[in-house]
Amino acid sequence: MGTIYLVRHGQASFGADDYDQLSPLGTQQAQQLGRYWQERDMCFDAVYTGTLKRHVQTLAGIRDTLPSMPDAQALPALNEYDSHALIRCVHPEPLGPVDTPEAYRAHFRLLCDAIAQWMAGVISPEGMPAWEDFSGAIRQTLEHIRHQHHAGNVLIVSSGGPISCASSLVLGATPEVSIALNMRIRNTAVTELSMSAKRLMLQTFNTLNHLDSAQTRDWITFA
């Protein structure tokens, strides 16, 4: 048996002009995950990331404290959906700054509605694939990794959308479940898929063991 470790990126720059950039705390979260694995002699046989800056920066943070990892392969299939393109489909007017708890909740209510319509084929966000193609690319990536590394440990650094989709695919869950999972995944959370030569199985979801100490519990973030 092998294991795929799916890691969501560290805290990014929500509300900034460029979200696709780790915050200082996001870098600390990633370094703490690498430190946690280093203390437990974790080794990976293969490493994959998306191509977004926050994926690459998160892997760099992990590698700061867990240097003995193979070179990463970057796969666009592990990239996040375009949340702005999704929201524009259901709310064409410009949104105000997301700088209050109420505005934050309103933003994510719109996003969940847009994701549901995208999954149902009601909307086609500009520059994005259809949901079937998005989820199909994730399925193909998981199957490729299973065929190549079913007896090893594989690290994947990605985003909440692909990770929740992967978890739902393995569980055989509905797209609606994927949305609910997506909204709960925390920064640098680890989701484990056990793999054999024949199948993938969900082992853990959204765990933050590396932040479970008095010094790091206030590092837990969602965006």
Query: What predicted TM-score, i.e. pTM, was given to this entire model?
Result: 0.96
Alpha helix (H) ranges present in 22-100?
Answer: 24-39, 53-65, 83-90
DSSP sequence for 93-112 = SPP----SHHHHHHHHHHHH
Asked if 191 contacts 167 with a C-beta cutoff of 8 angstroms, the reply is yes
Asked if 7 contacts 185 with a C-beta cutoff of 8 angstroms, the reply is no
Tens-of-pLDDT digits for all 223 residues of the chain? Answer: 999 999 999 999 987 878 999 999 999 999 999 999 999 999 999 999 999 999 999 999 999 999 999 999 999 999 999 999 999 999 999 888 888 999 999 999 999 999 999 999 999 999 999 999 999 999 999 999 999 999 999 999 999 999 999 999 999 999 999 999 999 999 999 999 999 999 999 999 999 999 999 999 999 999 9
Distance, CA of 107 to CA of 109 (rounded, Å): 6
Asked if 190 contacts 155 with a C-beta cutoff of 8 angstroms, the reply is no
